[in-house]
Structure 1
Amino acid sequence: MKKLRLATLWLDGCSGCHMSLLDTDQRLLELTRYYDVVYSPLMDIKIFPEAVDVALIEGAISTDEDERMARAVRRQSAVLIAMGDCAVTGNIPAMRNSTGATELLRRVYGTPDQENTPIPSTDLPTLLDKALPLHRYIAVDHFIPGCPPSADALCAALLAVAKGETPCPNSRFGA
């Protein structure tokens, strides 16, 4: 059996979903029967590969770089799974949505004319006006909710996808 190419990514989130993935413990060995991990923040790979079979994305889309990366991952992945509540609903990152990006930066950094409170402006991604879940930007094939999702849920979903099954009933949505 040819192994599937698996990629994981986190956007605006806390990395808790990736910690749950690691919490699958010895079941990681079972998953390696089905998957080769080809990209992850837990690896030192700089460029997202082509022809990924399954991509797990954690986190909301909060910056122009998050959006660019999510769109690239979608283009290069056969199956895309929103992993965790930030990717599924926006969760904690979306709590800032009551103000726009400009007001948020003003509240955090003060006004540009205040001494010692410069608003960052170089070498940083542009903050979008709202932090939104993945499906607001890209087509998502499956959703695994939870903050973070349990190791059991992640393992079961990955095994189901590897076997050609649907990991969660009614989990298919479009952008």
Structure 2
Amino acid sequence: MNMKIELENCQKSLTLKDFEEVESKLGHVLPERLKEFYLQYNGGEPKQQTISINKYYEVEIRIFQPFKYNKSFKNALFHTVEGETLEHRSSNSISDNILLFASGHNNLRNIGVIAINIKNRAVYFYKIIGFVKNSDAFIFDEPQLIADSIDDFFNNLVAFPKIEEEQQTEIIEIEGVMPELSDCSASLTKEDI
């Protein structure tokens, strides 16, 4: 069941002037489709389970980072797309043409960030494998291609209703039930161990 993507806990709305300032800080012009999305939602958490289903790699989006404003962190630069991107650039954990804009996990439940390569416009998943010493930046594994373009990425976002916590608990309990061993199973001996 595909639903319309909706975000909650969004930050202050952006203007085109805000984007000009951000682009100046980053030294790159941002893709129009990315700006369109962020003019509607300045970051936020998907209300539904939101997955980018593309031919290369699937990722579940947990949060879209905001540009310029982040009330939760008193608008501290690091807690914005441009601030986090600049911090990672300065620690050499990403190249200058990468823009980190969301976080989530892949189908193996590895946590990582979602980024666009500003030059070739492709979108990648960067699995987090550690932290840069004396920095707030992450160390990433090799990037995994998610989509050939930001258009492909947004066109292939699929939303599903979230499973309620009660339903998740029931599923976990059912999955956690161990089968009982039959009485005819042979006991282990010291030699078996």
Q: Which has the larger radius of gyration?
A: 2
Fold-level match, TM-score > 0.5? Answer: no
**Structure with bigger RCO (C-alpha 8 Å, 6+ apart):** 1
Could you tell me the TM-score, scaled by structure 2's length?
Answer: 0.27
